[in-house]
């Protein structure tokens, strides 16, 4: 067997952490042949919950799980880590302004970025799940520079991506796996742009059809497709988190953990040949997104990190939606800069 891969989960005593660790230990993220060492980072109040989860991991006797450490010290948690999943964050509480939220999270993700730079493996990859995920990733990347290249830092928009695929599969009455090349652009927030203009759906053994054409057949014409996309699909995907809270009485947990696993698996093992997925990565100016921002893009991996899929046509409607979400990312970055964090 290969040497163990060390995976650090921050917020290991929280809900998403709990949903993540058992699936990672079972081999869902890195495949059945890679032994895993788990490190759970918590703040003192969360230590008991994380320790309890570690006891349960032991009780699963997972063959691939080499060991589990629980700690409230970032330098211990990130020591030699290969994959850091930054889940723990400061949630927005009643009466909290956006600047307060950004500042509180800068106080978490800045020091964690520094700790990663100091002690993580040279090939470390980091995914930020804790919100505001894009800007938290920006802060962590800036704090880890220049020791860790910025492209090792990503933020999770795979849940939004999977939500979009799920909605399309339902309307088109196909399996989710029949749909390729959906894109989430921009921020992991209500301003995001779920884009189906390049998406295709399987119609035969190898034949595919543009999703917009398949939608037109189902909904009765191009005008109906436009209305459905603008009034139903885009807002439903962008606000799905609120819908889950309303129906379930609690935020997305298992689906968020699943998306984080998909994100890391594809980054580490590669995306399927034929298609791409979505992840928030550091822009180098692609598609007019200002360099340095952590924005969601169409991305591919050959097993060595995500690269942005370039050269896609962006029409005027899409341009306006991407620009609106990117404007929000710029505002978040400027607010953080004003706080003296960047």
Regarding 159 and contact with ligand NAX (CB under 6 A), the answer is: yes
Question: What is the pattern of x (binds ligand NAX, CB under 6 A) and - over residues 172-201?
Answer: ----------------x-------------
Regarding 108 and contact with ligand NAX (CB under 6 A), the answer is: yes
Determine which residue in the list 13, 110, 113, 194 makes contact with ligand NAX, applying CB under 6 A.
13
CB-wise, 200 or 252, nearer to ligand NAX?
252
Report the SS3 class of residue 4.
coil
Question: What is the pattern of x (binds ligand NAX, CB under 6 A) and - over residues 228-267?
Answer: -------------x---------xxx--x-----------
The pair of structure tokens assigned to 67 is: 């060991």
Regarding 8 and contact with ligand NAX (CB under 6 A), the answer is: no
- Size of site (CB under 6 A) for ligand NAX: 29
Strand-pair partners of 195: 183
The answer to the question of whether 31 is labelled as a binding residue is: no
User: For residue 143, what is the DSSP state?
Assistant: H
Strands 83-86, 208-210: pairing kind: unpaired
In angstroms, the CA 178 to CA 78 distance is 38
CB of 302 to ligand NAX, least distance (A): 24
In angstroms, the CA 266 to CA 118 distance is 26
Strand order in the sheet with 277-282: 65-71, 36-41, 5-10, 83-86, 125-128, 153-155, 277-282, 294-301, 306-308
Residue of 82, 161, 188, 198 marked active site: 188
> What are the CA-CA distances from residue 160 to residues 49, 152, 232 (Å)?
28, 21, 15
Regarding 39 and contact with ligand NAX (CB under 6 A), the answer is: no
CB-wise, 87 or 124, nearer to ligand NAX?
87
Determine which residue in the list 45, 93, 204, 246 makes contact with ligand NAX, applying CB under 6 A.
45
Regarding 110 and contact with ligand NAX (CB under 6 A), the answer is: no
The answer to the question of whether 14 is labelled as a binding residue is: yes
In angstroms, the CA 224 to CA 217 distance is 10
In angstroms, the CA 306 to CA 196 distance is 20
**Under 8 Å between Cβ of 19 and 256:** yes
The pair of structure tokens assigned to 102 is: 């950004």
Determine which residue in the list 7, 11, 215, 318 makes contact with ligand NAX, applying CB under 6 A.
11
CB of 137 to ligand NAX, least distance (A): 10
* Distant-in-sequence, close-in-space partners of 13: CB < 8 Å, separation ≥ 6: 40, 42, 46, 47, 48, 49, 50, 51, 53
Give just the sign of the alpha carbon dihedral 227, 296, 29, 38. Answer: negative
CB-wise, 136 or 301, nearer to ligand NAX?
136
Q: Is residue 147 annotated as part of the catalytic site, yes or no?
A: no
CB-wise, 73 or 230, nearer to ligand NAX?
73
Residue 26's nearest CA partner among 54, 52, 2, 60 is: 60
**Under 8 Å between Cβ of 24 and 7:** yes
CB-wise, 40 or 168, nearer to ligand NAX?
40
Question: What is the pattern of x (binds ligand NAX, CB under 6 A) and - over residues 115-154?
Answer: --------------xxx-x---------------------
Binding residues for ligand NAX (CB under 6 A): 10-11, 13-17, 41-43, 45-46, 87-89, 91, 108, 129-131, 133, 156, 159, 188, 241, 251-253, 256
Binding-site residue positions for NAD(+): 11-17, 105, 112, 129-131
Binding-site residue positions for substrate: 92, 98, 131, 163
């Amino acid at each position: 067997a290969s040497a163990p891969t060390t995976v650090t989960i921050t917020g290991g005593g929280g809900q998403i952490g709990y949903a993540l660790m058992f699936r990672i230990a079972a081999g869902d993220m890195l495949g059945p042949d890679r032994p895993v060492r788990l490190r759970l980072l918590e703040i003192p109040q969360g230590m008991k919950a994380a320790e309890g989860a570690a006891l349960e991991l032991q009780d699963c006797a997972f063959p691939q799980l080499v060991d589990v450490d629980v700690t409230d010290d970032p330098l211990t948690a990130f020591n030699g880590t290969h994959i850091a999943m930054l889940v723990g964050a400061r949630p927005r509480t009643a009466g909290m302004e956006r600047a307060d939220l950004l500042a509180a999270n800068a106080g978490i993700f800045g020091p964690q970025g520094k700790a990663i730079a100091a002690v993580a493996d040279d090939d470390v990859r980091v995914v930020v799940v804790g919100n505001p995920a894009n800007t938290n990733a920006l802060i962590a990347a800036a704090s880890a520079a220049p020791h860790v290249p910025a492209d090792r830092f990503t933020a999770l928009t795979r849940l939004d991506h999977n939500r979009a695929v799920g909605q399309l599969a339902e309307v088109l009455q196909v399996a989710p796996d029949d749909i390729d090349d959906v894109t989430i652009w921009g921020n992991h927030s209500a301003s995001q742009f779920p884009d189906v203009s390049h998406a295709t759906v399987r119609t035969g053994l190898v034949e595919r059809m543009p999703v917009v054409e398949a939608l037109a057949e189902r909904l009765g014409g191009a005008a109906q497709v436009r209305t459905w996309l603008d009034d139903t699909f885009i807002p439903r995907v962008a606000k799905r988190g609120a819908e889950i809270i309303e129906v379930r009485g609690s935020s997305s947990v298992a689906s968020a953990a699943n998306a984080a696993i998909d994100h890391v698996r594809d980054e580490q093992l590669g995306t399927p040949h034929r298609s791409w997925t979505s992840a928030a990565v550091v822009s180098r100016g692609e598609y007019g997104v200002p360099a340095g921002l952590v924005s969601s893009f169409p991305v591919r991996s050959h097993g060595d990190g995500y690269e942005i899929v370039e050269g896609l046509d962006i029409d005027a409607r899409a341009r306006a939606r991407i620009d609106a979400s990117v404007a929000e990312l710029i505002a978040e970055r400027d607010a953080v800069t004003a706080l003296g964090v960047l």
